[in-house]
Structure 1
Amino acid sequence: MHRIMLREVIIDAPATDVEAVTRFWSGALAATPHPIPGEPFTALRDAASLPHVATQDIGDDPTPRYHLDIETDDLEAEIARLEGLGATVRTRHADYAVMVDPVGLPFCLLPPVSAEFETRAKTV
């Protein structure tokens, strides 16, 4: 058994549009944008939302989309569980995985980093 928690909704936008998307979603969710140094992410702090929200510069990829970040305290077990539900690993890294659901929508599995994990994660 291990624990999981949906941590974040990421709004992926091409480099040419990420500034406008960040400005829009910051306004829409009454949030303050905070670029993450050295990363393609901008956190939308204090957003009017339950999960954390961020934008991501996806460079030359022309396809805007949303993806979810899910925290887990057992990456291997969660990959296996989600594969059993129909997900597929797209890219495997040492400490996280990029997966797609049965219709090809991307999401990431990450180790726990949020303060909420201890109190909000569910055992699966």
Structure 2
Amino acid sequence: MHKSRLAALVIDSQGEEKSSAIDFWARALGWPCQETDDKYGKLATPPDQPDVLIQQVDHPSRVHLDIESDDIEAEVTRLEGLGATVIERRERWTVMEAPTGHRFCIVHPQRPDFADADNVNVWS
């Protein structure tokens, strides 16, 4: 048995300067940027909602979802059974593609309430 849920909406922004993307999305969504590092900006979303991250990338700009799970391999296997394919296995996450062509990532729990939340799916 394992758990999973939507962790984050990730706005991939191609280019050298992520601060302009962070500024735009923070103002567009009405949530200030609460933390940043050399690759990511995290907006101050309400605690009961998924995170919104702005990520600097080399590939064309797009939006993808992060699904958090307490067992990445079990969640990957479950989603493969639904028709998704593994694109790349990384040390801390797995990149997958849905049958519709949309990319998404399976990640370790990201939001602090994951273990005790009532809004997670439990899979057997």
User: What TM-score does the superposition give when structure 1 sets the normalisation length?
Assistant: 0.85
Q: CA deviation at 1:121?
A: 1.6
Q: CA deviation at 1:87?
A: 0.8
Q: For residues 122 and 103 of structure 2, what CA distance do their matches in structure 1 show? A: 23
Aligned partner (choices 84, 92, 104) of residue 87 of structure 1? 84
Q: For residues 16 and 91 of structure 2, what CA distance do their matches in structure 1 show? A: 30
User: What TM-score does the superposition give when structure 2 sets the normalisation length?
Assistant: 0.85
Q: CA deviation at 1:94?
A: 3.0
| 4+ residue runs over 6 A deviation | none
Q: CA deviation at 1:113?
A: 2.9
Structure 1 alignment gaps of length 5 or more: none
Q: CA separation of 1:75/1:48 partners in 2, compared to 1, >3 Å: closer, same or farther?
A: closer
Q: For residues 49 and 65 of structure 1, what CA distance do their matches in structure 2 show? A: 24
The number of equivalent residue pairs is: 121
Identical columns (%): 35
Structure 2 alignment gaps of length 5 or more: none
Structure-1 residue corresponding to 2:67: 70
SS at structure 2 position matched to 1:6? strand
Q: For residues 116 and 36 of structure 1, what CA distance do their matches in structure 2 show? A: 21
* Larger displacement relative to structure 2 (18-27 or 41-50): 41-50
Structure-2 residue corresponding to 1:25: 25
Q: For residues 95 and 12 of structure 2, what CA distance do their matches in structure 1 show? A: 14
SS at structure 2 position matched to 1:115? coil
Q: Can you list the C-alpha shifts for 1:15-64, whole angstroms capped at 9, x where unaligned? A: 156433221210111111245324x11101136982110111113x2x21
Structure-1 residue corresponding to 2:98: 101
Tell me if the contact between 1:47 and 1:53 (Cα under 8 Å) persists in the aligned partners.
Answer: no
Q: CA deviation at 1:95?
A: 3.0
Tell me if the contact between 1:71 and 1:113 (Cα under 8 Å) persists in the aligned partners.
Answer: yes
Tell me if the contact between 1:9 and 1:51 (Cα under 8 Å) persists in the aligned partners.
Answer: yes
Tell me if the contact between 1:29 and 1:48 (Cα under 8 Å) persists in the aligned partners.
Answer: no
